[in-house]
Amino acid sequence: MRLFSLLTLLLTLPLAAAHADSPHPAALRIGLDHSYRHSATLLISCDQQFTLSNPLSNRSIAHGGKGVIYKLTALPTGITLARVDDLKDTPIAEKLSALNALSGGAGFVKIARLDSRPFGSKGLPWHRYRGFLTVRREPDSTLRVINTIQLEPYLYGVIPAEIGSRVPIEAMKAQAVAARTYALKNRGKCKVDGFDLDDTTRCEGYYGVDGETALCNAAVDDTRGQVMVYKGHLIDAPYSTDSGGVTACDTNGDCPYLCAVRDADPGDGREYADTGKYHTWSQTFTTVQIQALLAKDPRTYVEKFVSLSLDGLDASGRVVRATVTGADGTLRTVTGPQLRQILGYDVLRSTRLTLTRTTDGSYRFDGRGWGHGLGMSQDGAVAMAGPRYHKTYLEILRHYYTGIALVSVGTLTPEQTARRGS
């Protein structure tokens, strides 16, 4: 554990220094947890010459030519590194804590998770990344992959992952500004894990080079450096798939730009995302099913389940509390978002919902939208930018984030970009 803590500190020191010197540091460290978390064996290669080095000593371990493949295997004693030639492994190093993979030119480092796949199998899942990759061994003797990358190229891989590559360009631009603002405001959100952000729904989706398209990259380039501010300070800029007709509000009052906004055209009254796949949805549980799900979490566990009820709505019509009642009078109360987490984010797709007991005693949830609902609705932005409304990205952003302005990030001071609680 001491070695792991030292490694995490050393890997994050350069970025901490950059953050102190500038409100828009040169690089972000993105944990590639979606595809590579808890991997046991990885392959690394590059479409140009590349170098593998030890991040602790900054010494080179190996130099690979174009297309040369190296295998990294996690063992309790450390990472073993081998060169793969004609399906045969040639040992290079062992007992490594971590290593960096960096292209020697303008190429992209690529990585594949081997684990259960034989090396010679077809369809090996290679993924390419800009910047450089760090692979480190975790305390549980698995591998973790971190991509260190400049902010703007990082966004090239975020746009297709978040809003898609086949949507109107103005929607892509709105997504680029929101994602850029979010990334800078939330930089360090995953610092306990040794990086800034990850590529899961905890932070922002990110596909790397393989998700990029010319149009997505143009949306990033056309908005280069633009971020949202409220009264001169960088905002937090959450977004979700579909607001369900009304955006969520910040109930804590920390973010006055996140208000309950009716997500509909003021002219025709039509909700922007009304054709979305989950704009309306329904989910029914039998008493036995919902009791079993609630019993799995200590926050909602009662010995003899009697009922579940929803209590109170916020200004956007989202559930504030849920109460589980036991036969002995035990009450377990959780927030609406906590109930969604317990029952499943893809089951209760939002907290803008109602609960009905059916005649057979089942629990039917009727809901609207998908996601937390704060900030921009991606489906709504796509509709606003489409042929029916022809909204610009600035109009889209001003609709979803009340009272904001767009500025160049280079004009902001560190105090204006600071995270809450940092």
Nearest Cα to Cα of residue 158 among 198, 187, 118: 198
Nearest Cα to Cα of residue 97 among 46, 149, 125, 57: 57
* Helix (H) or strand (E) run with residue 294 in it: helix 287-295
Question: Could you tell me the residue ranges of all domains in the chain?
Answer: 2-193, 282-346
Amino acid at 245: G
Nearest Cα to Cα of residue 261 among 279, 243, 244, 246: 246
In sequence order, the 6+-apart residues with CB closer than 8 A to the CB of 373 are: 240, 243, 244, 246, 247, 248, 316, 318, 350, 351, 352
* pLDDT score of 269: 94
* pLDDT score of 2: 41
Judge contact between 297 and 335, C-beta under 8 A: no
| Residue 294 structure tokens | 């609630």
Report how far apart the first and last C-alpha atoms of the chain are (Å, whole number).
25
Amino acid at 367: G
* pLDDT score of 77: 94
In sequence order, the 6+-apart residues with CB closer than 8 A to the CB of 283 are: 347, 348, 364, 365, 367
* pLDDT score of 67: 92
* pLDDT score of 414: 85
How far apart (Å, rounded) are the C-alpha atoms in residues 163 and 94?
Answer: 42
How far apart (Å, rounded) are the C-alpha atoms in residues 167 and 162?
Answer: 11
| 98 strand-pairing partners | 136
What is the side-by-side strand order in the sheet with 363-368?
280-285, 363-368, 353-357
Judge contact between 251 and 314, C-beta under 8 A: yes
3-state secondary structure of 327: coil
* pLDDT score of 324: 97
Judge contact between 173 and 159, C-beta under 8 A: no
* Helix (H) or strand (E) run with residue 73 in it: strand 69-75
How far apart (Å, rounded) are the C-alpha atoms in residues 54 and 84?
Answer: 19
How far apart (Å, rounded) are the C-alpha atoms in residues 193 and 136?
Answer: 11
Judge contact between 197 and 254, C-beta under 8 A: no
| Residue 52 DSSP code | E
How far apart (Å, rounded) are the C-alpha atoms in residues 220 and 401?
Answer: 19
Report phi then psi at 20, rounded to 5.
Answer: -70, -30
What are the pLDDT tens digits along the chain (422 aa)?
444 344 444 344 333 333 333 445 569 999 999 999 999 999 999 999 999 999 988 899 999 999 999 999 999 999 999 999 988 899 999 999 999 999 988 899 999 998 866 655 567 889 999 999 999 999 999 999 999 999 999 999 999 999 999 999 999 999 999 999 999 999 999 999 999 999 999 999 999 999 999 999 999 999 999 999 999 999 999 999 999 999 999 988 889 999 999 999 999 999 999 999 999 999 999 999 999 999 999 999 999 999 999 999 999 999 999 999 999 999 999 999 999 999 999 999 999 999 999 999 999 999 999 999 999 999 999 999 999 999 999 999 999 999 999 999 999 888 888 876 44
| Residue 236 DSSP code | P
Taken in order 16, 151, 202, 260, is the CA torsion positive or negative?
positive
* pLDDT score of 326: 96
3-state secondary structure of 48: coil
3-state secondary structure of 410: helix
The pTM assigned to this predicted structure is: 0.90
Residues 215, 220, 224, 227: what is their CA dihedral angle, to the nearest 10 degrees? 140
Angle between helices 214-222 and 169-185 (to 10 degrees): 60
